[in-house]
Structure 1
C-alpha cells in the first residue's frame, strides 16, 4: 500500500513509501548474506583491491557512451531502498554503452551510490590502497536480455561503470539536483519523483579514456557473478556539505552510512587497464591479446 506524504506534494514531488528487501553492512551481517544467496561466497566476487602496478595493460577499445548527454527522461525516480540511494528513469533504453571488452550493447538501468561515515572511507573498490569517500555505480544490462532479473543469470548479463568521489572544498555542481531533493527520501523505502533534470554525462569525470576492467559480481545480495566491471580511477570532487546529505538518509532506525561491501579475494582473476592502441610500440601484440578467446580466464 502506498502512503503519499503531504510535504512532498507541497514541494512538487510525489514521495511513496515501500517495504524493501533489507540487509545490513556490518562484518557479521555481511557474512550472513549467504542466507540470501549462496552466490555471495562465489569465486568471482566484488569489490576488490586494484593496484595499477599489477594490472595488465592491454589495447582495449574505448567505452562508447550513447545518450549520456541527453536529459534523463522524466519521471526520474529517486529511491532510498535501505542500502543506497538509487536514481532511475521511468523509461528504458534512453542511454547505452558498448565497446571496451563488452559483448554487445548494454542499456542503462540506473545509478546508485556508496558512501562512508567519515571522509576516509565509503568506496567499495580500493585503488592503490586508497578508499575514496564515495563510489557511484551506473548499472547497465545486456540488451539481449529483456529484464535485469534475467540478465543476472548470465556471465555477460551486466556491466557496471564505477566512478569515485573525494571530499574537496568546492561543490560538485552536477550533484546539486540529486542532493537538493535528497531530503524527500530520508526514511527507508521512500521514493520521490525528481523535479530537476540532469544528464548522465554531467555526473562523469572529464576524461574517461583510462579505466580498469575485470569480471566480478553484484556487491549486494544476490551477489550474482554476472558483472563486467569498468572502473574510472580519477576521483571527482564532492563537498563536505554534499556528502553529509547522503549521510542523513535512514536505514530502518539508523543513519545509512558505510554501505560498502568488504573487499573480496581476487583469486586467479586478471585485472586489465586500458591503454589506447597508439600507446603501444607494437599495437598488433596488444590487440591480439585482446582478441584471445581465453581473455577472461
Structure 2
C-alpha cells in the first residue's frame, strides 16, 4: 500500500537495490514488525467463519458535484485520491464505519508476478487496493498508525477481455514511447489531474461476498501495523494491452526527462507469525 503523498519522499525507499524492501527496516523499524503485509494465504490453514464475518458493503452518494477524483503520480505507482462526499465501507466484521480515501495498484514486469498477496503460491499480474480509514479517528492521517485505523480491500487481476471501466484511468497514464497514444497527464512525481467522477463499484467484481481477512500492515514504509485486510476471491479481468499500459507509465529522472520506472513494485510476502486468516464463503 503506497501512501507517498502523505508520508514523504519516494526517493527514501524503493523496490530495487540498496533501498529495496530488504533494507526498509533500517530507516523504518516497523517494517521488521510481527504483523507485516503482504502475506501468503494458505487456504487449507485458513479458518472458515461466516458467523462474525459478513459481506463487504460499499455505499455513498456518487455525484460529480459532490465527489471528486484525482489521479496522481505518487512516486511509485498511479493512485486515485477521493475527496468530497464520502464513500462508506462497512461489513466484514468491522466494528466501525470506514471511509474510502484512495485507490492504487501494484504490478510486475510479467504476468507471472505483480500482486503483493498470493493464494496458495499463486501470484497475479496486478493487485488493486482500496484504502479506507476508520471514522472513529475522524480523518485519514489520524488513523494511519492506530489499531484498526485502516481497512484495505484487495482485488486480484487476470488477463482476459478488455475492461472498458479501466480506460478512464489508463487514458490518463503517461506513455513516453507513444505506443498506446495516451495523453501525458501525470508524467512527473506529485503531478495530479482531476478525473471524471464515476461509481467506484464499476471497477469491482460483481460480488463482494467471498474474501479472506487478516490483520496486518501497510505494504510500504513506514509499515504501520494498523490495517484490516480483505483479499477477495473473485478476480477482475483486464486485457493484456491494458495491463501493458500500466507498465509503460513513466517518472522523470534527475534531468526531468521522462523515463520508465514503474516496471514493478510489490513487497515480498512477510511471515505470518501465528496470525489467523479468516475466510468468508471460502471457495478457492
Deviation per residue, 1:157-216 (Å, 9 max, x gap) = 000000011112x2112101111111311333321112x332110011012111000000
Q: Aligned partners of 2:59 and 2:67: how far apart in 1?
A: 18
Q: Structure 1: where are the runs of 5+ without partners?
A: 1-18, 280-297
- Tell me how far 1:55 sits from its aligned partner: 0.9
Aligned partner of 1:174 among 165, 172, 193:
165
**Number of equivalenced pairs:** 255
- State the Cα distance separating 1:245 from its structure 2 match: 1.5
Structure 2 partner of 1:30: 21
Considering only aligned residues, what root-mean-square deviation do their CA atoms show, in Å?
Answer: 2.0
After superposition, the Cα gap between the structure-2 partners of 1:208 and 1:261, relative to the gap in structure 1 and judged at 3 Å, is same
1:58 aligns with 2:49: yes
1:132 Cα offset (Å): 0.4
Deviations 1:111-133 (A, max 9, x none): 00001111111100001211101
Alignment of 1:19-168 (within 5 A): 20-22=9-11, 23-26=13-16, 28=18, 29-59=20-50, 60-67=53-60, 70-71=62-63, 73-91=66-84, 93-168=85-160
Shift of 1:32: 2.0
Q: Which residue in the other structure is 2:256 paired with? A: none
Q: TM-score, normalised by structure 2?
A: 0.84
Deviations 1:222-280 (A, max 9, x none): 1000000011022111111111121122244342121111110011000010139xx9x
The alignment partner of 1:243 has SS state of helix
Q: Structure 2: 5+ residue runs without aligned partners?
A: 1-7, 175-184, 254-259
Q: Distance in 1 between matches of 2:145 and 2:194?
A: 30
> What is the rounded CA distance, in whole Å, between the counterparts of 1:36 and 1:234 in structure 2?
36
- 1:193 equivalent to 2:178? Answer no
**1:221 deviation in Å?**
0.6
Instruction: Summarize the Cα distance change of 1:251–1:220 in structure 2 as closer, same or farther, 3 Å threshold.
Output: farther
Is the Cα contact below 8 Å between 2:67 and 2:86 reproduced in 1? Answer: no
Shift of the 36–103 alpha-carbon distance from structure 1 to 2, 3 Å rule, reads farther
Partner of 1:266: 272
Local SS of the residue matching 1:270: coil
Give the whole-Å Cα distance in 1 for the aligned partners of 2:68 and 2:124: 31
- The answer to whether the 8 A contact 2:54-2:209 is kept is no
Secondary structure (helix, strand or coil) at the match of 1:182 reads coil
* Secondary structure of 2:141's aligned partner: helix
Q: Which residue of 2 aligns with 1:216?
A: 216
Report the CA distance shift for 1:252/1:48 in structure 2 as closer, same or farther (over 3 A). farther
Query: Take 2:156 and 2:142, find their aligned partners in 1: how far apart are those partners?
Result: 28
- Kept after mapping to 1: 8 A contact 2:24/2:221: yes
Alpha-carbon spacing, 1:133–1:71, altered in 2? closer, same or farther (3 Å): farther
Give the SS at the match of 1:136.
Answer: strand
C-alpha contact (below 8 Å) 1:213/1:229 kept by paired residues: yes
